[in-house]
């Protein structure tokens, strides 16, 4: 295993600190306006829930030019006027360090894992630096289960029924069917994990790959489940954060997410081939429902793109899809059924066929996955039309039904993969 | 009279014998070289045909879009087979040139030397064409997918246009490299592209003035009227 390079000053600081119990890592790049709140919430969480523990906050920065590291260093939770019910016995320490390697969240996490290992941290968490909804309770929910013996805590957020459609239609049901654990939001972004798991992550030879750039979330979740670590979920409430870069469009998102999941399928082929069915994992926190305020969804545009794909992408889809799947997709596209329906079993076949095609490298991976966009929009349009009057619970039941369909058709995937 | 005739025939025959004696070994060498060339070409074909599929050449060709290019040209054999045949012919061609050279005739030697000096250009020209067809096919697919994902109604037309323009560019480059009608190709290419752009500008700016205005108004209206998606996909 190659050692993670750390600046001399940081290495000296780590030597001075010795061992810690808790560590919270915050990757950042130009987040000066929001990171202060995250640091204060973490500090308050340590004081409120873990006053006896030695804790450290690590900011792994990608070369911010807006003074992000300075904000981290200067952010304090308690002012002279603050009255605290409980006090930290030893003050929360802060380490601000640049990370090395390929620019991306994965490289930032790698530095955090290395520091966690060096400090012998028992429980660690990583949280996004642009979070606006983080509260001190998040520390308890992400770190507490680890101190009770769990190795990986996946977040469960409060979301609108139409939020996270890639997660709901691909990532969650596919991960559940492949690895047999019901982790509802595998690409949530804020996780808790044990020091043991951090060391395990560091042994993996992925730090020059896409994991270092954008695939770290699903990689952490999948590695924890597939390598047999104890996994649970924690309900964190709503996740509010800065709007994403408008330049990052749907096709880019889909390519990044799907390629990460499909790459992991190749790595863990032996593991998922042995899994049948899916089991729930323990849940910490107190889940509650969400309001159903109307959300603008342009279904007409989605269907237009899906039908355009059926008309023009035939030559590409026939490389990816099995003949009978393609025939059914074309039938669905030309159907005048009202409301439009893209059946769940067909969608599962489409995803499995694309996973196999990606694995066999029938064409350049990025082109292949970009051609999935019209199919995804067709399925999403069908989902939106079919759940227009449904409550959150009813929609959740539909998503669970889709996840079960993924499990039922897993034999098809195994046969085609071989 | 008969003696004169005998003398002429005898001289002719002895002259032929002398020339045959002088030229015979060269002819024989040419035939031997040709025979070796045929055998070498066959061997190359068999070896390449066996080896390329094993190193995944057909898969690579399919991924790179070469198979589609071949199929569009009416060639349904696997790319490894096509490559084997092409290499076999190239080997045979080299041996034919060597065989012609073995005749030791001035014109043959000249032909051989010209052919060999032209060979690198020919190979580079062929490489430009192959690379061009791969790049064009790749970009055609990228444009097609991007246009479909953007919801453009004439995605296929756009992708086809990009493909054709690129192929014209690469063919022109290959021909220019081979030195075939260098100036004519350059001039044709310039005139063709300039003409297309000029025609489009005229068509859109003058004849389609109203159409252009209507189109832009429609786009602006659609932007105002159609609500965007508030979906968060991740």
CA end-to-end span of chain B: 110
Total of domains in chain A = 2
Instruction: Measure B196 CA to nearest chain A CA, in Å.
Output: 25
Look up residue B106 and give its two tokens: 């001035």
Which of A227, A259, A284 delimits the end of a domain?
A: A284
pLDDT tens for A356-381 read 999 998 889 999 999 999 999 999 99
A164 and A252 share a domain?
A: yes
Residue A79 has pLDDT above 60, yes or no: no
A104 and A219 share a domain?
A: yes
CB contact under 8 A, B231 and A361: no
Q: What is the CATH number of the domain that holds A88?
A: 3.90.550.10
- The C-alpha atoms of residue A194 and residue A117 are separated, in whole angstroms, by 10
CB contact under 8 A, A165 and B65: no
pLDDT at B148: 95
A160 and A31 share a domain?
A: yes
Instruction: Measure B200 CA to nearest chain A CA, in Å.
Output: 25
Answer whether residue A185 is part of any domain. yes
A232 and A377 share a domain?
A: no
A78 and A205 share a domain?
A: yes
A79 vs A51, A76, A83, A96, A211, CA distance in Å?
17, 7, 9, 22, 40
Nearest CA in chain B to A169: B233
Chain A neighbors of B226, CB-CB under 8 A:
298, 301
pLDDT tier, A261 (very low <50, low <70, confident <90, very high otherwise): very high
Q: For chain A, what percent of residues have pLDDT higher than 70?
A: 94
Answer whether residue A3 is part of any domain. no
Q: Residue B3 burial (CB < 10 Å; 0-12/13-18/19+)? A: exposed
A272 and A336 share a domain?
A: no
CB-nearest partner of B151 from A295, A305, A380: A305
Compute the mean pLDDT over every residue in chain B, rounded to the nearest whole number. Answer: 82
A54 and A201 share a domain?
A: yes
Residue A382 has pLDDT above 80, yes or no: yes
Kindly report the backbone phi and psi dihedral angles of residue A67, in degrees, each rounded to the nearest multiple of 5, phi listed first.
85, 20
Q: For chain B, what percent of residues have pLDDT higher than 90?
A: 23
Chain B neighbors of A381, CB-CB under 8 A:
none
Q: What is the pTM of this model?
A: 0.80
For chain B, how many helices (H) and strands (E)? 8, 0
Answer whether residue A291 is part of any domain. no
CB contact under 8 A, A370 and B149: yes
Answer whether residue A36 is part of any domain. yes
Q: In B65-105, which ranges are continuous DSSP H helix?
A: 66-72, 79-102
Chain B neighbors of A162, CB-CB under 8 A:
230-232
| Residue B93: closest CA among B73, B115, B71, B74 | B115
Least confident of A266-270, B120-124, B202-206: B202-206
Phi-psi region of B90 (alpha: psi -120 to 50; beta: other; left: phi over 0): alpha
pLDDT tens for B62-106 read 777 777 777 766 677 888 898 999 899 989 988 988 888 887 777
Contact B158, B147 (CB under 8 A): yes
Answer whether residue A1 is part of any domain. no
- Cβ of residue B230 closer than 8 Å to a chain A Cβ: yes
- Cβ of residue A417 closer than 8 Å to a chain B Cβ: no
- The C-alpha atoms of residue A309 and residue A200 are separated, in whole angstroms, by 43
Chain A neighbors of B62, CB-CB under 8 A:
362-363
pLDDT tens for A138-191 read 999 999 999 999 999 999 998 888 888 999 999 999 999 999 999 999 998 899
CB contact under 8 A, B65 and A250: no
CA-based radius of gyration for chain B: 30
CB contact under 8 A, A305 and B149: yes
Range of the domain at A380: 299-417
Three-state DSSP class for A28?
strand
pLDDT at B126: 87
Look up residue A129 and give its two tokens: 């630096």
The ipTM, to two decimals, is 0.86
A112 and A260 share a domain?
A: yes
Which residues, 6 or more positions from A30, have their beta carbon under 8 angstroms from its beta carbon?
A64, A65, A66, A68
Which span out of A74-88, A186-200, B217-231 was modeled with the highest average pLDDT?
A186-200
What distance lies between CA A118 and its chain's CA centroid? 25
- The C-alpha atoms of residue A174 and residue A176 are separated, in whole angstroms, by 5
pLDDT tens for B6-52 read 888 888 888 888 887 877 888 888 899 999 999 999 999 999 999 99
Contact A349, A322 (CB under 8 A): yes
Answer whether residue A2 is part of any domain. no
Choose the mutation target among B58, B72, B143, B149 for the interface with A, i.e. most A CBs under 10 Å.
B149
- Cβ of residue A373 closer than 8 Å to a chain B Cβ: yes
pLDDT at A320: 95
Answer whether residue A293 is part of any domain. no
CB contact under 8 A, A163 and B231: yes
A315 and A176 share a domain?
A: no
A251 and A353 share a domain?
A: no
pLDDT tens for B206-215 read 766 666 677 7
Answer whether residue A82 is part of any domain. yes
A144 and A116 share a domain?
A: yes
A243 and A346 share a domain?
A: no
């Amino acid at each position: 295993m190659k050692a993670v390079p750390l600046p001399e000053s940081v290495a000296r600081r780590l030597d001075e600190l010795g061992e810690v119990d808790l560590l919270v890592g915050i990757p950042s790049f130009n987040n000066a306006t929001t990171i202060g709140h995250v640091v204060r919430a973490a500090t308050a969480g340590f004081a409120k829930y873990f006053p006896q523990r030695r804790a450290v906050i690590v900011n792994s920065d990608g070369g911010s030019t807006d003074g992000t590291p300075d904000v981290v260093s200067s952010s304090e939770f308690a002012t002279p006027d603050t009255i605290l019910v409980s006090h930290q016995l030893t003050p929360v320490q802060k380490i601000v360090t640049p990370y090395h390697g390929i620019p991306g969240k994965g490289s930032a996490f790698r530095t955090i894992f290395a520091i966690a290992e060096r400090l012998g941290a028992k429980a660690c968490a990583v949280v996004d630096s642009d979070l606006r909804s983080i509260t001190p309770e998040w520390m308890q929910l992400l770190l507490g289960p680890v101190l009770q013996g769990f190795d990986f805590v996946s977040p469960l957020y409060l979301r609108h029924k139409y939020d996270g459609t890639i997660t709901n239609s691909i990532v969650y049901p596919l991960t559940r069917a492949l690895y047999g654990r019901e982790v509802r939001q595998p690409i949530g972004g804020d996780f808790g994990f044990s020091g043991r798991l951090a060391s395990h992550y560091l042994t993996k030879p992925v730090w020059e790959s896409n994991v270092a750039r954008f695939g770290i979330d699903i990689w952490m979740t999948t590695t924890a489940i597939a390598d047999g670590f104890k996994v649970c979920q924690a309900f964190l409430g709503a996740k509010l954060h800065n709007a994403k870069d408008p330049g990052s469009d749907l096709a880019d998102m889909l390519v990044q997410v799907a390629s990460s999941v499909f790459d992991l399928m190749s790595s863990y082929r032996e593991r998922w081939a042995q899994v049948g069915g899916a089991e729930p994992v323990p849940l910490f926190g107190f889940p509650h429902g969400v309001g159903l305020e109307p959300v603008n969804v342009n279904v007409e545009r989605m269907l237009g793109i899906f039908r355009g794909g059926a008309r023009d992408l035939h030559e590409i889809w026939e490389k990816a899809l099995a003949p009978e799947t393609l025939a059914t997709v074309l039938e669905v596209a030309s159907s005048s059924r009202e409301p439009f329906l893209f059946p769940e079993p067909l969608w599962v076949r489409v995803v499995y066929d694309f996973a196999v095609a990606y694995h066999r490298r029938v064409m350049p991976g990025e082109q292949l996955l970009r051609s999935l966009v019209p199919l995804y929009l067709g399925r999403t349009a069908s989902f939106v039309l079919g759940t227009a009057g449904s409550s959150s619970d009813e929609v959740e039941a539909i998503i669970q039904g889709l996840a079960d369909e993924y499990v039922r058709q897993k034999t098809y995937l195994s046969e085609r993969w071989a | 009279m008969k003696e004169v005739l005998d003398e002429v025939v005898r001289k002719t025959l002895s002259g032929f014998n002398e020339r045959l004696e002088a030229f015979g070994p060269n002819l024989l060498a040419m035939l031997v070289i040709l025979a070796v060339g045929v055998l070498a070409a066959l061997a190359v074909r068999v070896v390449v045909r066996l080896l390329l599929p094993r190193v995944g050449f057909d898969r690579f060709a399919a991924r790179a879009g070469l198979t589609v290019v071949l199929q569009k040209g009416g060639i349904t054999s696997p790319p490894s087979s096509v490559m084997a045949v092409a290499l076999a012919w190239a080997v045979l061609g080299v041996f034919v040139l060597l065989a012609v050279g073995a005749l030791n005739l001035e014109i043959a030697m000249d032909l051989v030397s010209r052919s060999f000096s032209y060979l690198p250009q020919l190979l580079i020209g062929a490489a430009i064409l192959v690379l061009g067809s791969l790049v064009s096919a790749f970009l055609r697919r990228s444009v097609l997918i991007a246009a479909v994902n953007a919801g453009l109604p004439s995605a296929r037309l756009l992708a086809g246009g990009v493909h054709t323009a690129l192929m014209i560019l690469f063919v022109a480059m290959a021909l220019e490299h081979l030195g075939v009608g260098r100036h004519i190709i350059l001039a044709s290419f310039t005139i063709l592209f300039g003409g297309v752009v000029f025609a489009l500008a005229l068509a859109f700016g003058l004849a389609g003035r109203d159409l252009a205005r209507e189109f832009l108004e429609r786009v602006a209206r659609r932007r105002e009227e159609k609500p965007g998606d508030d979906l968060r996909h991740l």
